[in-house]
Structure 1
Amino acid sequence: MTAPLPVIDGHNDFLLRLLHAPDDRVSIWLQGDGKGHLDLPRMKAGHFAGGFFAIYISSPSTEDLDAHDALMDNPPYDLPLPDLIPAEKAQPVALAMAGHLLWMERAAPGSFKIARSVADIRDCMAKGTIFGIMHMEGAEPIGEDLDALYLYHQMGLRSLGPVWSRPTVFGHGVPFRFPGHPDTGPGLTEAGKDLIRLCNELRIMVDLSHINEKGFDDVARISNAPLVATHSNAHAVTQTTRNLTDRQLAVIRDSGGMVGLNFATVFLRDDGRQSPDMTLDPMLRHLDHLIHHVGEDHVGLGSDFDGATVPKDIGDVTGLVRLQDAMRAHGYDDRLMRRLCHENWIGVLERTWGG
């Protein structure tokens, strides 16, 4: 039996779990409380080498989340977007989440390290240390003057998505709509264009997941770095607003960029349902499509663990082993498996951050 490969993962929301239960963070992180998708013991069991840990600001809402889940399991649906969150409200939350990531490193010396360079990633993988890349999903904690971006960069921020799905002062995201198309509104604001230029200057990777089509095209015109969607799938397979069209995939390919396969059921199933009762076949169909349109060197994994409903056959991070088994049974050879599991993420970060 072939041994599992180490996996670099393009996106997770583990920091949100710590934010919501700060008094329990020792049991959640170090001991593993069996809840959610991630913790240190299960990461080790699942051959999770490291990944992008998102700083994400939840929308204050009185909406019934259970009602939203019910709608997303009974397509068609079109959920309204929350209102914009100003920087002064987002910044304290972002700082708390950044602090949790720094605490995770201090609490697990030798087992977890924040990666600020490709050299850090290679060193961690050689030593068997799990690494975390500080990512920001939605740039609400950065004001229009962009000064805060320098601060977060000093803390370790190396990846940023200008928007989650709700609007920011920088641009517009896609709503949660099925069936739907990513052309849902205007492109980047002038502040958004300045944000992309500064990210390029600081060598912060720009994440195109969640941004709408016009915003995507604006980034493509402005950016001098590879185009990356850390956790997005193929619109041709599942016609949700969150997935990328073949035209967008071609633009990413031509930039030397990257797409990470999102494990969220609503972006995998051809019926758009949220139910986890599914096989891994849709994941393989999306991988096949992404590989065909973006190329073997430009596709990886972007789970969305702790931020989405995932297939029951994945379950949590330990399911990465079962996914690898399914990929091999599907016909992916050792060379392609290494690319998909970790080499392609290292490659795109080298092209973005430098060596």
Structure 2
Amino acid sequence: MQEPLIFDGHNDLLLRLHQHDVPAGKDGFQGAGGRHIDLDKAQLGGFGGGFFAIFVPGEKSLSNDMDEMLLSSYDLPLPPQVDWNDASKVALSQASILINLERDGALKICRNTKEIRECLNSGLMAAVMHMEGAEAIDPDFQTLDVLYEAGLRSLGPVWSRPTIFAHGVPFRFPNTPDIGSGLTEIGTRLIRKCNDLGVMIDLSHLNESGFWDVARISTKPLVATHSSAHALCPHSRNLTDRQLHAIRDSDGMVGLNFAVAFLRSDGRMIEETPIVTMLDHLDHLIEQLGEDRVGMGSDFDGAVVPEGIKTIAGLPNLRSAMADRGYNDVLIKKLCHDNWLRVLDLTWT
């Protein structure tokens, strides 16, 4: 099943291209390099596009500690806060990569849902410029204004390390997301600024105190682009049912994270994880949120995903599994892209 096309809530392709010094433009987006996402795999998998994250890795990579996520419990030390001068250079570099992909005709940076729908209808990959962790945003929001004009339409105030705006959750298992304090005063202003601009706020990686601060302040639907259900996997990165109910009540949505450590009940980062584990999370999210508020948020090119999928070329296996589970055509289409379009219609106005 290559249809309906999947519009995805999160990927880290720009980081991969940035780190490996891939040639700018379409030539660097072909089927080499072992990436989860490229043009050839998109054709095979029915990948229509999604949120392309700008992410600053910092000096110390979390990947050095990933072996600990094979254990039955873990608490990974997080990298320190990144300085704005360093972060802004990396962010602009990754934004430039996305802009050059657009110039070369590999994708289109979409600033509204009309453009996303046109891409899905034409077969051109749709890209929403997203920022995962706001280290590159200065306290006066001048960087935000510039990136908005370049196409930025979605922003997470934090990755898991702290920023001047908020605090994220560390990678702990088992644990709750109730770790640390919430938004700072500048973080409150950031939420209001994004509401005014029409930039979607991403709650993924934000700790529970920050989550409830955003829920109190924001005038827009609550959205977590790439998160899973804490009730099924008690990881600090996952959302509790109480959080899911708040998202439901705001008419927001959650994109299911494909990262296996956030899917498995044992919290382990093991590729040999069946697709049915993903369906268990989809079932729970649909039960808690309703079928109009759930989509995909893969974390492709930034995580270990189930072996039955591996890359976007394996997305037909996910569609087939949903059909085998008894999901009807209307529900599958909602999960693949309609629900993202619905919430973005509400958020970007």
Is TM-score (shorter-chain normalized) higher than 0.5? yes
> CA 1:243–1:136 in 2, change beyond 3 Å: closer, same or farther?
same
Among residues 61, 82, 85, which one is paired with 1:85 in the alignment? 82
> CA 1:26–1:122 in 2, change beyond 3 Å: closer, same or farther?
closer
What amino acid is aligned across from residue 113 of structure 1 in structure 2?
Answer: K
> CA 1:332–1:28 in 2, change beyond 3 Å: closer, same or farther?
farther
Question: 1:23, 1:37 → 2: CA distance?
Answer: 15
Q: Which residue of 2 aligns with 1:145?
A: 140
**Structure 2 runs not aligned, ≥5 long:** none
CA contact (8 A) 1:5 1:47 kept: yes
Q: Which residue of 1 aligns with 2:52?
A: 53
Shift of 1:5: 1.1
Shift of 1:145: 1.6
Question: 1:64, 1:296 → 2: CA distance?
Answer: 34
Among residues 224, 227, 233, which one is paired with 2:222 in the alignment? 227
Q: Secondary structure at the match of 1:313?
A: coil
Shift of 1:127: 1.2
> CA 1:340–1:64 in 2, change beyond 3 Å: closer, same or farther?
closer
Is 1:351 matched up with 2:341? no
Q: Secondary structure at the match of 2:227?
A: coil
Shift of 1:29: 3.7
Q: Which residue of 2 aligns with 1:74?
A: 71
Is 1:308 matched up with 2:303? yes
Question: 1:323, 1:257 → 2: CA distance?
Answer: 23
CA contact (8 A) 1:55 1:97 kept: yes
CA contact (8 A) 2:2 2:44 kept: no
Question: 1:207, 1:314 → 2: CA distance?
Answer: 25
Question: 2:17, 2:209 → 1: CA distance?
Answer: 34
Shift of 1:27: 7.8
Number of paired residues? 349
| Cα RMSD, aligned residues only | 1.4
**Structure 1 runs not aligned, ≥5 long:** none
1:252-294 alpha-carbon deviations (Å, 9 max, x no partner): 0000101000000000011100010121111011000000001
What amino acid is aligned across from residue 13 of structure 2 in structure 1?
Answer: F
Question: 1:28, 1:326 → 2: CA distance?
Answer: 33
Among residues 158, 164, 182, which one is paired with 2:177 in the alignment? 182
Q: Secondary structure at the match of 2:282?
A: helix
Q: Which residue of 2 aligns with 1:103?
A: 100
Question: 1:323, 1:351 → 2: CA distance?
Answer: 27
Among residues 325, 328, 334, which one is paired with 1:333 in the alignment? 328
CA contact (8 A) 1:11 1:53 kept: yes
Q: Which residue of 2 aligns with 1:162?
A: 157
Is 1:197 matched up with 2:195? no
1:22-52 alpha-carbon deviations (Å, 9 max, x no partner): 2445687432105020111111211111100
Q: Secondary structure at the match of 1:231?
A: strand
Is 1:296 matched up with 2:288? no
Question: 1:166, 1:90 → 2: CA distance?
Answer: 13
